[in-house]
Structures are given as structure tokens and as C-alpha cells.
Amino acid sequence: MPVKSASKQPTEARQASLIAAALALAAERSPAEVTTAQLAQAIGVTQGAVFRHFESKEAIWLAVLDDASERLLARLLSAAAPHATNGLHALEAVFDAHVEFVIEHPGLPRLVFQELQRPQDTALKANVRQLMQAYRMLLVKLLKRGQAEGLIAQSVDPQTATVVLMGAVQGLVMQALMSGDVAAMRTQAPRVFQLLRAGLSA
């Protein structure tokens, strides 16, 4: 989804406002409990106006996930870019960038975790899978590059290491959401990656 700017049409700007409001509200409560009335109140419009921009609440959450996914993947790629000759440092930068993104947007993991618990297939769940696949591909690429550089042990299986890396972030997030102290991940994440680095290093 586009980000607000002076040149945007009113509809696009209003959609961006609703997406930001939904993500902010999801940081405070379960996304399932967020109502269109609350979204309308958050941006100062009527409930009917919400449905002029999105046909349903699910459409709003789809837009939230699309917007957040695009920004997250861009942030991860940008974090890795300065470490073109060190795959291990690039992995750490990606790990830290993901943690920082969650600290800034705690509503996103709430939305993802809630959706993955639903037994049926949904458009939201399909989009979550696409995000996870793109993330996996980035990590595998960096792991293989680190092996080619001699920085990551050849005995490390990139697919398995990817599961561990993603699981470490998810564990940090779950612990932070349960404790209510999301910012604590800034202190915990470097310690967790230190353990991961020890297992990856050649």
C-alpha cells in the first residue's frame, strides 16, 4: 500500500490512515476484537466511510499485512546490503532489523499469530505464507553466501539454520508479547544471536 504524501488522492490517503490505525489498535488488543467503529473513530470518520475504502474488515487486514510485509522485507534487504562481503554480519543485521520492526509494530505479530491459529485456509494466511517464504529465501541466500566466504561452517544445513533463525525471532516476540515489554527485545536479541553465531561460525 502507498504511504501518505501530499500528492496522494484522498482515497489513498484515507486507506493509508486506516491501515496505520488498524496496526496500532492491534498492538493494544487482539486483531479479532478490533471493530470498524474503532477504526473509524481512530481516524475521525464515520463507520460508513470505512466501508467506502475497504469492502470488509478482512480486506483491511489484508491491506495491513501487504503494507507491513512490503516494508519489513525492504527493511531486511536494506539491513543486509552494507554487508556484501560478510554473510554472517548480514544475517545478524537482518535479525536485528526484524526485531526492531516488531518493536515498532507489535500489532503485526499479533495479526500473524492469530491468523496462523485458524484451521481453515484464508487469504490472510496465504499472504502470511508468502511473507515467510520470502524471508526464508533471504536467510538461505545469506547462509549460503556465508559458507562460500568461509564464515559459516559447511556442516550447517541452510534450511535447518533458517528454521532456527526464524524460530529465535518468533520466540523473542512471543516472550515479549506475554510479558508486555516488547522493547526488552533490544536487550535480549544480541544475546540470542550470540548463541546462534556460535553454532553457525566456521
pLDDT-based confidence at 202, cuts 50/70/90? Answer: confident
Q: What is the mean pLDDT of residues 48-59?
A: 92
The answer to whether residue 189 is domain-embedded is yes
Q: What is the CATH number of the domain that holds 167?
A: 1.10.357.10
How many whole angstroms separate alpha carbon 64 and alpha carbon 169?
Answer: 21
How many whole angstroms separate alpha carbon 51 and alpha carbon 28?
Answer: 23
Average pLDDT taken over every residue of the chain: 92
The answer to whether residue 181 is domain-embedded is yes
How many whole angstroms separate alpha carbon 153 and alpha carbon 166?
Answer: 19
Tell me how many domains the chain contains. Answer: 1
What pTM was computed for the model? 0.88
